[in-house]
Chain A
Amino acid sequence: MNPRPSPVSPPSVPAKPPVAGRCAGQLLVGVGALGVAAVLAYGATSISSEAGYAGVGPNFLPWVVSGALAICGGLLVFEALTGGYRRMETPSGAPRGDWHALAWVSAGVLLNATLITTIGFILSCALCFTLAVRGLRASEGKLSGNLRQTVIDAVTGMLIAAPVYWLFTKLLAVNLPGLSSTGWI
């Protein structure tokens, strides 16, 4: 995903997004669809075809979906190779992604998934909140990461997560993991 200016497009048309980068991405998406189709087909071979009265068994729809996705993937690849997807809406936002910011938000979500059962909902979500805020703030180009700000974010995260935890576990009887068995944290 590094959209370099394409050698194909003449320099006189700067309004168009960099074609080469976009098309490479589009090609990958098409190949991805083909990949999913292949996985579905591989899985379908091990599904029984016992049909009963219907004449089609539990492996029928898997084959249909796999075949259809293969066709879609093929057409997507074709479109990507012949000038890009048709009738594309220019995606909103910056042409280049801020991967650094996304890494922070990703880390928040993944750590949350990893730690939620051990350190409990409130702490885990507060951690997720802190990391995500840091990433999102960095994407806005604002200063982020100093200690004071981080502490404020962590406290804010706790202030959101704790009432949510109490509301859902005490009032609505939804099971969420806690750090202790007191039911308060």
Chain B
Amino acid sequence: MVDILNQLLGGFATAGTPINLLWALAGCALGTAIGVLPGLGPAVTIAMLLPITGQVEPTASMIFFAGIYYGAMYGGSTTSILLNTPGETGTMVTALEGFKMAKHGRAGAALATSAIGSFVAGTIVTILVTLFAPVLAKFAVQLGPPEYFCLMLLAFTTVSAVLGKSTLRGMTALFFGLALGLVGIDQITAQVRYTGGVMEFMDGVEVVLVAVGLFAVTEAFYNALYEGRSANEMNKLNKVHMTRTEWRRSWPAWLRGTAIGFPFGTIPAGGSEIPTFLSYAAERKLAKPAHQAEFGTVGAIEGVAGPEAANNAAVTATLVPLLTLGIPTSVTAAILLSALQNYGINAGPQLFQTSGDLVWALIASLYIGNVMLLVLNLPLVGLWVKLLKIPKPQLYAGILIFATVGVYGMRQSAFDLYLMYGLGLLGIVMRRYDFPTAPVIVGLILGPLAEAQMRNALSIGEGSWLVFVQRPMSATLLVVVVLVLVTPRLLAWHRRA
């Protein structure tokens, strides 16, 4: 305990240097901005900025990236409330009630409860991360390749089978991502796979390229192709303020949302979609009868407060599996992992020992960043809303410039720009036919890692697949994987019968 406190103080000392504070502020501000702007998420933004890892030292850039990551969550709620265009799945529920509140002249209260709720959840979860992550890392050191492989299998299953609407389309996306991950040199035997004689493919397909192509470029293409005539109405912003009743109705929802969000972020079953919906359902059920009528009509403040807290809690908690196991459970976490890889840092249980300074500075910066974001988002919200005035054509065309920086700056190859174009077209098809994109990214980055773990595990078992069921921990994980796959089907079948 004292040990943790000392290390955390050390982290504050690192994160608190003027230059690192500036990076945190820049990250939070940029994160809020891209969160507010429709069409850009934290994952793409970090992906586009990955080339800076060549110049900026690891601690500073991780602080910067983390600032973007949760800054985008704050900014995203603003857009959901005012514009009813949720930037990502996590803020979908916020749009549900928040937009209705704003429509009935309570935009200020909705914005306040979402910003303060995010702050409360973010801070509580950061404390939990501080307490649990080192313990979990200590435990995770004992895990061998079979357990790791099963954990990754669990991450694959949940991200593709559980989160989307259709298991089939999720799985198709996942295996496509795994296929992309196969391109390049095999880690274990140095065998070249699927390069087709193209030199550029030797290093494999970069996750940055795929993320920028599938998200940023697709967004521009899709808007030109289908969304030109979709008009958005924007709600009026009024004073960001909550009455005493609104406070009283908000805080239990914040705490409940945090409690729901945290576990979902920590298990390799990430995504903030499920916890936000669960929190929404819980608030709707628990609301006083007098307030229940507000849900879906004039907008209930609990329906914003709970899911917002759950979203932020889950997002912050994804750092736990990322830092302690090296397993990303969201697209942004996957990009953060690839940032660490750029520095030659292997995320995993050893991270707390080998790069302790970096990890603790990152955790300390979460505390600092949450305070910064509260200031950036409450009094200054009017400033960010002005960003929504940028006309769509210029916005998306501008995004293409940044996409070029990220993709070309990665390894100075025009070939990658053509590849980015192709992925942009693929993204249109995926979006039009309702294929989820997250499994592609997670499959691409986790695929090669999982393959290495699987083959190492089989080496331990001297070629026998029984190694996965003979070890209690990995057998348990396999059972969980099966349960995750089978239970929803059984429930659906039961309901129909």
Contact = CB atoms under 8 A, between A and B. Distances in A.
B401 A61 contact: no
Contacts of B459: 52-54
A168 interface: yes
Interface residues of B, number: 70
Given A129-B398, A140-B392, A91 B405 contact: no
A121 B393 CA distance: 21
Closest 6 CB pairs of A and B: A55-B463, A139-B228, A93-B226, A113-B417, A136-B393, A132-B397
A32 to B, nearest CB: 8
Contact of A128 (B165, B222, B404): B404
16 contacts: A32-B429, A52-B459, A61-B178, A62-B193, A62-B194, A89-B434, A97-B225, A97-B226, A109-B400, A116-B408, A125-B404, A129-B401, A132-B220, A168-B51, A174-B52, A177-B412
Given A65-B182, A140-B229, A176-B405, 20 more contacts: A54-B456, A54-B463, A58-B188, A58-B191, A69-B175, A72-B171, A87-B165, A88-B165, A91-B226, A91-B431, A91-B432, A101-B224, A101-B228, A105-B400, A106-B421, A113-B414, A114-B414, A133-B397, A160-B401, A172-B52
A27 B217 CA distance: 25
Contacts of B182: 40, 61-62, 65
B390 to A, nearest CB: 11
Nearest to A134: B393
Contact of B176 (A69, A86, A99): A69
Nearest to B223: A136
B56 interface: yes
Interface of A: 25-26, 29, 32-33, 36, 40, 43, 47-48, 50-58, 60-62, 65-66, 68-69, 72-73, 75-76, 79, 85-89, 91-94, 97-99, 101-102, 104-106, 108-110, 112-114, 116-117, 121, 124-125, 128-130, 132-133, 135-141, 156-157, 160-161, 164, 168, 172-177
Interface string B461-472: 011100000000
Contacts of B434: 85, 88-89, 91
A57 B189 contact: yes
B178 to A, nearest CB: 5
